[in-house]
């Protein structure tokens, strides 16, 4: 029986992982605590750990996991900026789930755009209070508008295709453009200058960190709408708040936030938020926040558990796995070993 310590467990995680764990002879121990330097000792006696986006798998945690005999870290998500893959190389194998349900995230991004554009959230609150006035609920036709899509991986492609279905013009930017896609690839500056709406679907790297900042937003159209269902660190939240106050940004839809780790996935209704920037963003009438919810569909949860448990079995089978991460292939598209053998 393979034993895995499962950190930051939520009620919606458990059923699918119990199902696939039972089928594949993997026993999960579910901990509500996040993995960090204070909780790493909970992994003692296990073969591996399963983590999520807000677990902190830094160099010190990696060293402690290695000393405890941990053989692998499996992420039940696509992003891996919270894992020090360089520190893990040669010690602990790291795997991720690159595409659990790109439809879930893309559809959520579109739903946020539709909600903000047509003020659906405001109309819902009004009508429940018997206020049937239409004042202040005017939106715009999406048909004929231009949407800028930053990142044209699977999620970005689905989002772009949905927007095309609305009759929107799609401008695309990707560090590695896909010539097979029928998209109008442009530079970032051109995308910023010509987009009515901008949606982020790229990974968080040193290069993309705070790519949406005061300088980039100064290049955008007045009244631009910004949607982020990717990673919070792509946006400088303080700069976004300033640009909203100055009326440069028309609205923002945020499913992720740079400092979300101590906020999201928890009930904070009885607490005072210490994060002044986030609290001010929440107070804005043209800001819509969901708490990292974009992935949350039944299909996605099932696919995450399926792929994660299969990653564990592949480790024991000593097979190469395209889902493995390491110091040499943080850029998945340019893996030097071409996925023909394990990373080490």
Question: Which residues carry out catalysis?
Answer: 231, 260, 292
Rounded to whole angstroms, the Cα distance separating 95 from 292 reads 21
Q: Are 139 and 196 in contact (CB under 8 A)?
A: no
Q: Are 93 and 343 in contact (CB under 8 A)?
A: yes
Helices 298-316, 14-23: axis angle to 10 degrees equals 40
DSSP structural state of residue 274: -
225-251: burial string, b at 16+ Cβ within 10 Å, e else? bbbbbbbbbbbbbbbbbebbeeebbbb
Q: What residues have CB less than 8 Å from 264, skipping those under 6 apart?
A: 54, 257, 291, 292
Q: How many CA atoms lie within 13 A of 113 on its CB side?
A: 31
Give the closest residue to 204 by CA, choosing from 176, 185, 232, 241: 232
DSSP structural state of residue 55: -
Where does residue 247 fall: left (phi above 0), alpha (psi -120 to 50 degrees), or beta otherwise? left
Q: First vs last Cα of the chain: how many Å apart?
A: 24
Rounded to whole angstroms, the Cα distance separating 310 from 315 reads 9
Tokens of 295: 């992935």
Strand ranges for the chain from DSSP E: 2-6, 26-30, 48-51, 72-75, 93-95, 146-150, 169-173, 184-185, 197-200, 224-228, 249-254, 287-289, 324-325
Q: Are 297 and 102 in contact (CB under 8 A)?
A: no
Rounded to whole angstroms, the Cα distance separating 208 from 235 reads 9
């Amino acid at each position: 029986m393979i034993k895995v310590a499962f950190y930051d467990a939520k009620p919606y995680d458990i059923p699918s992982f119990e199902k696939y764990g039972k089928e594949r002879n993997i026993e999960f121990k579910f901990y509500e605590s996040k993995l960090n330097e204070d909780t790493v000792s909970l992994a003692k006696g296990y073969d591996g750990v399963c983590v999520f986006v807000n677990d902190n798998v830094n160099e010190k945690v990696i060293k402690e996991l290695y000393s405890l005999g941990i053989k692998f870290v499996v992420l039940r998500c696509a992003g891996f900026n919270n894992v020090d893959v360089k520190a893990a190389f040669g010690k602990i194998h790291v795997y991720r789930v690159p595409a659990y349900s790109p439809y879930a995230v893309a559809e959520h991004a579109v739903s946020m755009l539709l909600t903000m554009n047509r003020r659906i959230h405001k109309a819902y609150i009004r009508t429940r209070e018997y206020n049937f006035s239409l004042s202040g609920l005017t939106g715009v036709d999406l048909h004929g508008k231009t949407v800028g899509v930053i990142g044209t991986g699977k999620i970005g492609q689905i989002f772009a295709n949905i927007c095309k279905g609305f009759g929107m013009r799609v401008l695309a930017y990707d560090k590695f453009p896909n010539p097979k896609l029928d998209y109008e690839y442009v530079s970032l500056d051109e995308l910023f200058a010509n987009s009515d709406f901008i949606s982020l679907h790229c990974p968080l790297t040193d290069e993309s960190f705070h790519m949406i900042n005061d300088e980039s937003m100064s290049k955008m159209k007045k009244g631009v709408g910004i949607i982020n269902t990717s990673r919070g660190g792509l946006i400088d939240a303080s700069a976004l708040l300033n640009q909203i106050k100055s009326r440069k940004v028309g609205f923002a839809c945020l499913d992720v936030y740079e400092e979300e780790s101590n906020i999201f996935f928890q009930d904070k209704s009885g607490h005072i938020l210490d994060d002044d920037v986030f609290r001010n963003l929440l107070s804005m009438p043209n800001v819509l926040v969901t708490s990292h919810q974009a992935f949350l569909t039944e299909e996605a949860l099932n696919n995450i558990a399926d792929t994660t448990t299969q990653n564990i079995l592949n480790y024991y089978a000593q097979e190469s796995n395209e889902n493995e991460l390491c110091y040499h292939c943080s850029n998945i598209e340019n893996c030097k070993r071409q996925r023909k053998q394990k990373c080490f």
